[in-house]
Structure 1
Amino acid sequence: MGGRRWRVLVVDDSAFMRRVITDIIGRSGEFEVVGTARDGYDAIRKVHRLEPDIVTLDVEMPRLDGLQTLGYLMSEAPRPVVVLSAYTPEGAQLTLQALELGAVEVVPKPSGAISLDLERVAGRLLEALRAAVRVNLRNLGVRIPRATEPTPKAEGDGQDSGVAVAIAASTGGPRALMEIVPRLPHDLGAAVFIVQHMPPEFTASLARRLDVLSPLPVAEGQAGEAVEANRVYVAPGDHHMRVVRGADGRVRLRLDQDAPRWGVRPAADPLFLSVAEVYGPRSLGVVLTGMGRDGADGAAAIVRRGGRALAQDRASCVVYGMPRMAVHAAHARPVPLRDLPDAIATTVAELRSAEVSS
């Protein structure tokens, strides 16, 4: 944009937090804070008056809260919104609802609603803003959250899975996952592993939400857990998740806190590389919306071992970064978001058929 600084409106009911967030953003040189708002009503007035490029939004506010504010903005004045939320189960649940409504990214407040140590996540906040300026607004319209009645689950047989599906997602990922995972069949015939770039608590909330919506059981992965077919394992925040073959021959999960990859933990590449190693030609890598290149190297490794790779297509992505790199590095086949559940199920069936005939 020729040196133009992106304009940001900061919304938080705490004057202290507004000042700290403003200072972090102002020091970046990439963004400028054009105004602050103390609640949702104030935010709506200033969005119309100041026309900011991006809004940072606290979800827990008096009068008009963050979710109601977000719903209005995405319906009447759509623009990228970055949510700041407390590192608590309650905050995580509200944040997940915000992501369903169209928020782009989530930045955790490390020590609650008023975080004296917000500087700890200054880098994460600026990365979220950088992602926000790259979003495709056409794919951020308001979506009514799905009903929360639990979907009936088929009884598992505890059998090891011969086929693996590894999914990578970042910016816009939660909404994409909610379009894909609930539409996978209960008898898919594969274990599904998901890496979504999110902090702890938030990944747990995501797993619970997907479990409610999906015929396949969904949960955060546990260290040492035996992998079963027709189950979905979500990498816990702040941990890489890998698959390994144990001494008993069973495939199990391994969690670790090795150094972040591509600046994130969990990262998809460690998972994908382990899936390629353990499952070889019986593996499928799927790279969804997100900024950067996480998942591209892992998808390429899966393809080199005889597996397959799919990528969300440009038109349906919120940010066409990770999928673009997967197409380039792994020759992943681009697929529209609406068609990915069927594409995954069909590919798994093909991989299972090849396994039987080999």
Structure 2
Amino acid sequence: MRTVRYGEPHNKIRVLIVDDSLYMRRMLRRMLESHPGITVIDEAKDGVEAVAKCISLNPDVMVLDIEMPKMDGLSVLRDTMMKRPLPVVMFSSLTQRGSKITMEALSMGAVDFVPKPVSRGLVPLVARELCEKVVQASRARLRVQELRYRHETERGKKLRVSNGKAPVNTLVVIGSSTGGPQALEEIIPNLPADLPAAIIICQHMPRGFTASLAKRLDMLSALEVREAADEDVLEPGVALVAPGGYHLRVDKSSGNGHGVYYVYLDEGNAVHGVKPSVDVTLFDAGSLFKANLMVVILTGMGFDGAKGAWAARKAGARVICQNQETSVIWGMPKACYEAGGCEELVPLDDIASAVEEFCTNR
């Protein structure tokens, strides 16, 4: 995988809209041009036109629909990343199929995605989110796959063994946002099935999309990966993805004088504007696991995770952050580093080995 640093935006961020629906193109144009720093330079009604206009117009960011005639969004993304890499924000439907394809797009190099509004009342919120993500995308550092077509055939599944309800003493909490799904695909599949630790993944995503993320990571990994459910017990070799729309809390039962660690879902208010919040999970995990906790803060905008990582480190946890050179958006790692919570900045390619080393040496 190679890293592409996209140039600084011009006076205004030049956006190409790609959608087969005239209605959606007009709505997207209104949304984007409500922001003073964004201008829509053109529109494309299908994938073939989109690829041609990317090459001829040289936009700063492309907003791309998934399902289109002639050439679908994934094919457009693949061609664009080969011929003229640029930041892409997917505009995706909130359906099971839409969320699955969105995960594939993020894996292929799309910077972020915005769910399409399901009602007229949500349009202003979606417009604000879309503009924010386009601005962030224009500053993104792309990690472009060298089009190695993954053989997504249950990689590592044959290595699995049943974990039962084995007690866990070590926990890894991974926090990520923009660029996170692609980064997670560089980490989780490179961990062994018999990792002697549980993993919690807090990725900023809405409901529905986290389930698709968990399924995709599970398909690629030797570890078992699933979306967390209320009162799931933490087990070695199992990674739980915090479901969108909930904070994932951690606690310990008091049964049989020993107890087990488990998670529960919290529908409380968003923290830092997100739910799940990495901070919420880390405050629990740090107080329970102390020196047996490893915190990994990956690429993403904002500062979620900085306070929780600092508190966890004070309690004895090991805290690492993805370095700037390999981050799509160096926001969350930077905030953690500047707050004093981060011990070490680590390139993405080295994070899996750092996690494995920590877990096997407890």
Is the pair's TM-score, using the shorter chain for normalization, greater than 0.5?
Answer: yes
Cα deviation for residue 85 of structure 1 reads 0.7
Q: Distance in 2 between matches of 1:176 and 1:2?
A: 24
Q: Say whether the 8 Å CA contact 2:227–2:243 is kept in structure 1.
A: yes
- Verify: 1:97 aligned to 2:117, yes or no: no
Aligned residue pair count: 348
Q: CA deviation at 1:3?
A: 8.1
**1:78–1:141 Cα contact (<8 Å) kept:** no
- 1:244 and 1:147 map into 2 onto residues whose CA distance is 38
1:170 aligns with 2:177: yes
Distance 1:12 1:335, change over 3 A: same
**Pick aligned residue for 2:307 from 294, 297, 317:** 297
Whichever residue aligns with residue 323 of structure 2, its letter is D
Between stretches 212-221 and 245-254, larger displacement belongs to 245-254
Q: Is the 8 A contact 2:177 2:299 kept in 1?
A: yes
Q: Which residue of the partner structure matches residue 21 of structure 2?
A: 14
Match of 1:131 in 2: 136
Q: 1:78 to 1:3 in 2, by over 3 A?
A: closer
1:277 aligned residue (287, 298, 303): 287
Paired residue for 2:161? 154
**1:233 aligns to what SS in structure 2?**
strand
Cα offset, 1:197, TM superposition = 1.1
Distance 1:259 1:116, change over 3 A: closer
Aligned to 1:241: 248
Q: What CA distance in whole angstroms lies between the structure 2 residues aligned with 1:168 and 1:295?
A: 7
Shift of 1:8: 0.6
- Once the two structures are aligned, what percentage of the paired residues are identical? 38
**Is 1:331 paired with 2:336?**
no
Are positions 1:344 and 2:344 aligned together? no
Deviation at 1:143, TM superposition (A): 4.0
> What's 1:185 paired with?
192
Aligned to 1:4: 11
Tell me the distance in 2 between the aligned counterparts of 1:143 and 1:130. Answer: 26
Once the two structures are TM-superposed, the CA of residue 60 in structure 1 deviates from its matched residue by 0.6
Q: Tell me whether 1:259 sits opposite 2:281 in the alignment.
A: no
Q: Deviations over 1:305-335 (max 9, x none)?
A: 0111011112211111111222222133111
Q: Is the Cα–Cα contact under 8 Å of residues 9 and 139 in structure 2 kept in the other structure?
A: no
Closer, same or farther in 2 for the Cα pair 1:60/1:142, shift >3 Å? farther
Secondary structure at the aligned position of 1:254 is classed as strand
| In 2: Cα distance, 1:210 partner to 1:110 partner | 27
Q: 2:74 aligns with which of 40, 61, 67?
A: 67
Check whether the contact 2:9–2:60 (CA below 8 A) recurs between aligned residues: no
Counterpart AA for 2:353: D
Q: Is the CA contact 1:60–1:66 (under 8 Å) kept in the aligned structure 2?
A: yes
Distance 2:121 2:53 in 1: 26
The CA distance in 2 between the partners of 1:254 and 1:341, in whole Å, is 26
| Cα distance in 2, alignment partners of residues 255 and 194 from structure 1 | 14
Provide the C-alpha distance between the structure 1 equivalents of 2:122 and 2:57, rounded to a whole number of angstroms: 29
Output the CA distance in 2 between the equivalents of 1:178 and 1:74: 18
**Of 44, 50, 53, which aligns to 1:43?**
50
Tell me the alpha carbon deviations over residues 51-109 of structure 1, each in whole angstroms, 9 at most, x when there is no partner. 21000000110111111111111111111000011101100111111111110001111
Normalized against structure 1, the TM-score is what?
0.93
| Aligned mates of 1:146, 1:325 — CA distance in 2 | 33
Preserved CA contact (<8 Å) 1:57 1:81: yes
The aligned residue for residue 315 of structure 1 is 325
Unaligned runs of 5+ in 2: 1-7
**Superposed CA offset, 1:21-75 (max 9, x none):** 1101101112111111111111122222322100000011011111111111111
Contact 2:9 2:138 in 1 (8 A): no
The C-alpha deviation readout for 1:181-222, integer Å capped at 9, x for no partner, is 011112211110001111122111110011111111100000
Partner of 1:48: helix, strand, or coil? helix
> C-alpha separation between the residues in 2 aligned to 1:299 and 1:291?
16
Q: Aligned partners of 1:200, 1:298: CA distance in 2, in Å? A: 23
Cα distance in 2 between the residues matched to 1:181 and 1:111: 32
2:92 is paired with a residue of what secondary structure? strand
Moved more, 147-156 or 173-182: 147-156
Please give the secondary structure, in 2, of the residue aligned with 1:219. strand
Partner of 1:356: none
Tell me how far 1:117 sits from its aligned partner.
4.8
